[in-house]
Amino acid sequence: MSIFRTLFFKIFFWFWAAIFLAMAAAVTTSHWIDDDYFRKATQSERIHLLRLMERKRPIMAEGRKLWRKLRPDWNLVAVAVDSISQLPHDVEEFVDTAADARDVLWGQDDGWLMIGPIQRGDYLYIAITRKQWSSVWDDEQRWMIPIAFFGVITLLSIGLVWSLTRPIRRLQRTVRQLGQGNFDVSEIKPDASRYDEIGELSGDVVDMAEALNRLLQSHQQLLRDVSHELRSPLTRLQIALGIARKKDPQGLLNAEHDRIERAVGQVDGLVGQILDLARLQQQDSQQLQLEQKTIAAELEAWVQDAEIEMEEKQIELQTRLPADDIECNWDWMLVERAVDNILRNAIRFSPEGGKLDVSSHLTSDGAIEIAIQDEGPGVPEEELKRIFDPFAQVDSARDHASGGYGIGLALVHRIVELHDGIIEASNQSPGLRITMRLPRKSFH
């Protein structure tokens, strides 16, 4: 990579150019900012003096009291050629300088602006005004010089900042998408062709995203393959267990058979969940089986299906459902599975005689919010964002003892994603509250 294309050189050059322009502005303008400055008058300044001679009555310079006679705006002062010494010192110096230069001058001295002199007969004519009385336009727009330099430096700085921050913002958005599992890096691919450090960084992020995507795909493929391979021996185990039960009509080995059946059932359930998660991860929202139904009736039916488990633990149920006429266009089989997973998790970790709160309402943006809250032990704050990741477990011993393997909430999260929704978990002291927010209609 050429050094002229590096970020270091760009920043160095832009700052160097800004400092150079500032110094040039200071050098260029310092001589006329000074209060003691004479130069050759321009054509327009000469014309201005001639017009004053035609239109204004001159103020005769008599002694050192000239300043008292001057008025705001330009004054026309006349002095006899042989009486120049009667002029105030500043004007006398100006006239002497013009005589030495043998030309009409423009000058400023101690806050006074002067044009002249022009001789007519025995008199010299000079245009004089106070600097603060004069319009900036009378000074050949020199006030524009520092403003122009300031504008150029500002534009250069904006250009530098813009060229650096735009690709960095795109990188920031892309990295956030990667953190959410979205491996689309098309937004920063044009930046990867830059010949500086940002281009190299963008290229590295693109390569990293592609490598992560390949790794994730291979991981998912491995899970699918292993799960499929486990199905066959599980089926043979179930057949063998059935045969073993038939060969033990007295039931002498029922306890052992029951333990084997529970273990096979747990492994079979885990394999089924893994396959379901792999299938959902390959599915997109256009493959959803959308139906129009009322949320209140469906949610009430799902809660009733779990009443047996709640009665066993004497859990008190509190429900707040939306209006009966609110309809949603969802894949109801998947949404039911998501709600059922959350509901049964809440029952599993609720204490005996605890309370379970199920609520749903229409939000201000037209979405449906479904919240389920238990009175269980909750989740450590630092683990709240991880509980929706596959195989994530807050307490491995507790989860395995309760039959969980960290797949259920990952399934819920994927189902919500397919419906363009949001799912959140929060501790309520006591208990855990899981909230799903789904748009009422899908536009795919």
Say yes or no to pLDDT of 256 above 50: yes
Instruction: Assign domain 285-439 to its CATH superfamily.
Output: Histidine kinase-like ATPase, C-terminal domain (3.30.565.10)
- As a whole number of angstroms, the distance between CA 229 and CA 271 comes to 10
Which amino acid, one-letter code, is at 129? T
Spatial contact of 72 and 130, defined as CB atoms under 8 Å apart: yes
CA pseudo-torsion sign 380, 410, 391, 256: positive
Q: Would the pTM count as exceeding 0.85?
A: no
Q: Residue 356 has what pLDDT?
A: 92
Position with higher pLDDT, 217 vs 311: 311
Say yes or no to pLDDT of 31 above 80: no
Convert the pLDDT of each residue in 79-91 to its tens digit: 888 888 878 877 8
CA pseudo-torsion sign 184, 186, 187, 189: positive
pLDDT band at 259 (very low <50, low <70, confident <90, very high): confident
Spatial contact of 407 and 390, defined as CB atoms under 8 Å apart: yes
- As a whole number of angstroms, the distance between CA 204 and CA 286 comes to 32
Q: Residue 252 has what pLDDT?
A: 78
* 147-156, 321-330, 387-396: which is most confident: 321-330
pLDDT band at 196 (very low <50, low <70, confident <90, very high): confident
* 204-218, 258-272, 294-308: which is most confident: 294-308
Rounded to the nearest integer, the mean pLDDT of the chain is 80
- As a whole number of angstroms, the distance between CA 151 and CA 162 comes to 16
Residue ranges covered by each domain of the chain: 43-139, 285-439
Position with higher pLDDT, 111 vs 368: 368
Q: Residue 135 has what pLDDT?
A: 46
Q: Residue 343 has what pLDDT?
A: 92
pLDDT band at 435 (very low <50, low <70, confident <90, very high): very high
Percent of the chain with pLDDT over 90: 10
- The dihedrals phi and psi of 127, each to the nearest 5 degrees, come to -95, 130
Say yes or no to pLDDT of 399 above 60: no
Q: Residue 138 has what pLDDT?
A: 45
